[in-house]
Chains A and B, each alone.
Chain A
Amino acid sequence: MNLLTLSIKNLQRRKLRTGLSMAGVAIATAALFSLLSFNTGFDRALQEEMANSGIHMMASTEGCPLEAASLALHGGEIPKFLDARRLTEIGDIPGIRTAAGMLIFSLIEDEGKAIFFYGVGDNYRDLKPHWQIRGEWFSGPNSIILGAEAARVEKREVGDKVYFPDIDAEFTVSGIVERTGSEDDGFFFLPLETAQKVFEKQGKLTAVGISLANVEEFEQVKGKIETLPDVYVVTKDQIMQQISSLTGSSKTLMAAVLVVALVVSFLGVINTVLMSVFEMLREFGYMRCIGASPSHIFRIVLFETLLLCLGGGVTGVVFGMIFASVTDEWLHNLLPYAPAGRFILFDPLVIAASVLFAALAGGLAGIIPGLKAAHASPMEAVRNV
């Protein structure tokens, strides 16, 4: 038996109250774990998506080039278009390995869900070297390549036909891109000329994706592209920054909710332990009679609070991990621009930080009740009532 045993037995004495307080800490810690995981997971997913895109910079027309670039990456219709002649001019600039034109359109299906069409040229493949295509690249003007998720939703296989009544067009599935974990999984890819014809945008492009032969020539190439009329360049870093700033307010809101949850939970723990201390004041006073020092009593209460918060912290992280996929889906729906891939991954550092935070909060929450208990009067304890 030691002081820790006493603390554990004290907690067991009021199982319901202990359980409820622990649940409060668990909820707060699960929220903390999810937010920390999200913060690191979001940036990682964004970087992975950018890396997978194979694009060093994007060229689009005037307006809001950053938004245009973000939409080009994540799906979205942009009402301004670039003259398709710019594609050849950009491709002729020395230092550019690939310049791939894209025309992006969306259709809203009956259920209100948007489907995105990407009109792309043959050199678009150079920007996606990691793509594994089941079937083949475009076999003709009426062929279509589906992302893995799009194929699953449409229940189509290579060779199947797919009809879109809104544009009154039928295509034959020439290939299906194996799952990439990026937004590409949900897209419908058409030959560029076909897309321009179907969507009546001949000679127009939404953007040009550019990869460089040598990234050290980044600034020179960018400068040369920007000399072309009506062409604006956004870099990969700018796109990432733009997306991060767009999600910034959501992150701030979530952080604010988290702070409230943490404060409520923290006060809840202090309240629980303080109530327990008030109930046990005579017992602590008697312990002082039989030789317990204020430090002994303080440690008993502190251990109690630490156990409460550690128990809640570990439970919260476990639940956070169990419900990670649900949280992930919720965040993907909530955020304006969510990169594909999972946000909440089991990062040992985040797990350790969440549990450590709970323990630290427990340590702080134990101070006031601990001091109260440590000053229990032995005389008051033994007074006959």
Chain B
Amino acid sequence: MSDVITLNNVNKTYRRGREQVHALDGIDLTIQQGEFVAVVGPSGSGKSTLLNIIGAMDQPDTGQVTIAGQETTTLKEQGLTRLRADTIGFVFQQFFLQPTLTARENVLLPTLFARQKHLASRADELLARVGLAERANHLPDELSGGEMQRVAIARALINKPKVLLADEPTGNLDSQNARAIFALLDELHDDGLTLITVTHSEALTSRAERRIHLLDGRISDD
């Protein structure tokens, strides 16, 4: 399997008043295509910062980050935007569905920004895959939390990303809906998609084939 994400000696420091916080402190990490990785650790350990840097939303102070062959530290804003559009799918705890768009339109949203033709049939396929074919024309407020997260997953997949980043994907769901999302993520992993999730959920962590434990901005266990 090829390396899809590589971090070499990545450091990121924030200022909090007079105090300097080392969010990431010399991180070296390689994730291969098709891996299912769970990033765990206590609050403030650097999980979200790591996810932001892997998701090309933030840049490290020092070190190198390579995603799908592109070194992000050399990319400007336009390049980072394109990388996010073409290579990475995002799923978040809050779903971030557009309230005025139907489930199908929400799934199609990233195609507006990705110089692709509108993939209406692919959107329908993805909605069918997440079990929401019948709900394609429903607005988000007509869907349950679990359904909204499944729409968000379908949306994350519309541009055929190489990597799916999931930040607490079941954080807002009850156990039944959470199980449905776990099953879906398992399916995507079986199809060869690289999955990286930041979670506090033991149930989700136990499904990952690799667990990275962060503590004080360093990898304490891999």
Contacts and interface: CB of A to CB of B under 8 A. Distances in A.
Given A291-B84, A382-B92, A384-B93, A10 B100 contact: yes
Interface stretch (B27-35, B75-83, B186-194, B201-209): B75-83
Interface stretch (A81-89, A171-179, A292-300): A292-300
B108 interface: yes
A367 B159 CA distance: 30
B172 to A, nearest CB: 10
Interface in B86-108: 86, 90, 92-94, 96, 98-101, 105, 108
Interface residues of B, number: 35
Contacts of B90: 289-290, 382
A172 to B, nearest CB: 75
B40 to A, nearest CB: 15
Contacts of B92: 286, 382
A3 interface: yes
A12 interface: yes
Contact of B108 (A1, A291, A384): A1
B58 A290 contact: no
A291 B82 contact: yes
A289 B112 contact: no
Contacts of A228: none
Interface string B133-171: 000000000000000000000011001000000011001
A281 to B, nearest CB: 12
Interface residues of A, number: 26
Interface string A1-29: 11100100110110000000000000000
Contacts of A378: 57, 84
Contacts, number: 78
A382 B95 CA distance: 10
Contact of B85 (A9, A283, A290, A381): A290
B183 to A, nearest CB: 24
Contact of B57 (A6, A13, A382): A382
A288 B77 CA distance: 11
B114 interface: yes
A379 interface: yes
B67 to A, nearest CB: 14
B168 A296 contact: no
Contacts of A6: 98, 101, 112
B114 A291 contact: yes
B96 A292 contact: no
B49 to A, nearest CB: 9
A287 interface: yes
B211 to A, nearest CB: 20
A384 B167 contact: yes
Nearest to B116: A291
A13 B99 contact: yes
A294 B77 CA distance: 9
Interface string B37-64: 0000000000010001001011000000
Contact of B100 (A2, A9, A292, A383): A9
A103 to B, nearest CB: 73
Contacts of A12: 100
Contact of A1 (B55, B94, B118, B159): B118
Contact of B167 (A10, A296, A382): A382
B130 interface: no
A378 B94 CA distance: 14
A282 interface: yes
Contact of A290 (B48, B77, B113, B168): B113
A212 B100 CA distance: 73
A286 B155 CA distance: 12
Nearest to B89: A290
Contacts of B85: 290-291
A1 B105 contact: yes
A294 B84 CA distance: 13
Contacts of B94: 382, 384
Nearest to B155: A290
Contacts of B113: 287, 290-293, 296
22 contacts: A1-B101, A1-B109, A9-B101, A286-B92, A288-B81, A290-B85, A291-B81, A291-B84, A291-B86, A292-B113, A293-B77, A293-B81, A378-B57, A379-B52, A379-B57, A379-B58, A382-B92, A382-B94, A382-B96, A383-B48, A384-B48, A384-B167
Given A290-B155, A291-B81, A384-B168, 20 more contacts: A1-B101, A1-B109, A1-B118, A6-B112, A282-B96, A283-B96, A289-B84, A290-B113, A291-B82, A291-B86, A291-B159, A292-B112, A296-B112, A296-B113, A379-B58, A382-B57, A382-B94, A382-B96, A382-B167, A384-B94
